[in-house]
């Protein structure tokens, strides 16, 4: 049955849900509306715009979506994100219009069936993911039997089921050498078992790609053999061109009067190109809630100079924290230290407080229009666990150049 009518999208969906316009078979229909193609899934109450020539991407271990946001900015269609953190999935969905976030146990044998229930026959072009690195990380327990170390297999089980054009795994560089390279070699073995992909890996340094943060990540990329060989993006910036912490967050409100709010208007004009980039598409500052320290803590922070740490404190002061990152104040003239999932050891280069979620997000290269949901602690964790979108975007653009040639 075909009907022509003028109707807005919201009412169109209501009619679909009430089954007033279409005989719906298998809970899925294809809709041509305003010259755009949509996919409507009744079970998940979701309207998705089909790719329109864009590459369809599934993001395993998506978290809040830093990795997939880079692919989205590169022009891909993110159809699905999978994670076991419900709050992170809500953030993912909010910032990836038309995408669905699913909580699926990727250790279950039938997890691919759950994916297929949602996407149906939709073609999957690229599978990306950053398997949890706590079992690998230099800051973790490094337990070789940590069950999370087995989650990487989900990448290859999914690839075997959907046969994408490309696979991309992101993780900490430590997997190359940890336990004699055991885990890295397991990943290599899985690529060899697939047999259909050329693959290679490279450690990329985030400041080289416009991210104002000292952060190294390893990217393991597989390209289907009929499409070409793997290559990685060349650095975009020289060391003297790296984005400094001040150029990244210096335009944000100081919060010195400790207001009880997290949304603000922009108070000053941007004074760096990076700030202009971060503001694009946003008319407000979100997630900028100040942490209120005791006066004792403020007094200790005030003794640490721009770029300094606990070694700059007088003897007997701050003795409860004495390790490399303790009482670390960001250097205003350099990229920030690596953003982690906590927020207790690093301090603003100028103000006597820890950075806000928004400041950390800026240092991770999340634009201001990317909004984080959940408690403040959950937001900090989402930011710290994420892949910098600008770094992800550079990798995505390189992959697209290869697979778009065919």
* Catalytic (active-site) positions: 133
Q: What is the largest CA-CA distance in the chain?
A: 82
Angle between helices 66-73 and 389-403 (to 10 degrees): 50
d(CA 98, CA 49): 7
Q: What phi and psi values does residue 138 have, to the nearest 5 degrees?
A: -65, -20
Determine the Cα–Cα distance for residues 265 and 275; give it in Å rounded to an integer: 14
Please, which residues have CB within 8 angstroms of residue 276's CB and are 6 or more apart in sequence? 270
Residue 369 and residue 94 in contact, taking contact as beta carbons nearer than 8 Å = no
Burial of 331 (0-12, 13-18, 19+ CB in 10 A): middle
Residue 83 C-beta-side C-alpha neighbours within 13 Å? 28
User: In this structure, what token pair is assigned to residue 28?
Assistant: 């899925």
């Amino acid at each position: 049955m075909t009907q022509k009518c003028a109707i807005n999208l919201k009412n169109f969906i209501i009619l679909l849900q009430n089954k007033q316009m279409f005989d719906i078979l298998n809970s899925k229909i294809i809709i041509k509306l305003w010259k755009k193609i949509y996919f409507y899934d009744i079970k998940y109450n979701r309207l998705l715009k089909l790719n329109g020539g864009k590459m369809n991407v599934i993001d395993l271990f998506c978290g809040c979506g830093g990795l997939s946001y880079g692919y989205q900015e590169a022009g891909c269609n993110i159809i699905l994100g999978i994670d076991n953190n419900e709050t992170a999935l809500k953030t993912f969905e909010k910032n990836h219009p038309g995408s669905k976030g699913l909580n699926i146990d990727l250790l279950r044998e039938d997890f691919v069936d759950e994916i297929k229930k949602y996407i149906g026959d939709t073609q999957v072009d690229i599978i990306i993911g950053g398997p949890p690195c706590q079992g690998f990380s230099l800051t973790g327990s490094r337990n070789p039997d940590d069950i999370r170390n087995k989650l990487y297999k989900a990448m290859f089980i999914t690839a075997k089921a959907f046969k994408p054009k490309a696979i991309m795994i992101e993780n900490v560089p430590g997997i190359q050498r940890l336990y004699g390279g055991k885990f890295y070699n397991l990943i290599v073995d899985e690529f060899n078992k697939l047999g259909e992909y050329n693959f290679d890996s490279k450690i990329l340094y985030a400041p080289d790609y416009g991210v104002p943060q000292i952060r190294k990540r390893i990217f393991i990329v597989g390209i289907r053999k009929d499409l070409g060989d793997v290559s990685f993006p060349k650095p975009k910036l020289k060391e003297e061109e790296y984005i400094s912490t001040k150029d990244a967050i210096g335009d944000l409100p100081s919060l010195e009067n400790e207001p009880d709010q997290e949304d603000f208007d922009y108070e000053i004009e941007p004074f760096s190109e990076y700030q202009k980039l971060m503001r694009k598409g946003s008319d407000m500052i979100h997630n900028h809630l100040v942490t209120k320290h005791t006066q004792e803590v403020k007094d200790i922070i005030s003794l640490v100079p721009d770029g300094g740490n606990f070694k700059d404190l007088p003897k007997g002061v701050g003795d409860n924290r004495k390790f490399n990152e303790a009482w670390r104040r960001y250097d205003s003239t350099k990229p920030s230290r690596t953003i982690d999932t906590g927020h207790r050891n690093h301090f603003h280069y100028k103000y006597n407080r820890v950075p806000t979620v928004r400041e950390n997000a800026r240092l991770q290269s999340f634009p201001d229009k990317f909004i984080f949901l959940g408690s403040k602690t959950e937001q900090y964790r989402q930011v710290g666990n994420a892949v910098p979108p600008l770094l992800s975007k550079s990798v995505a653009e390189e992959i697209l150049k290869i697979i778009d040639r065919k």
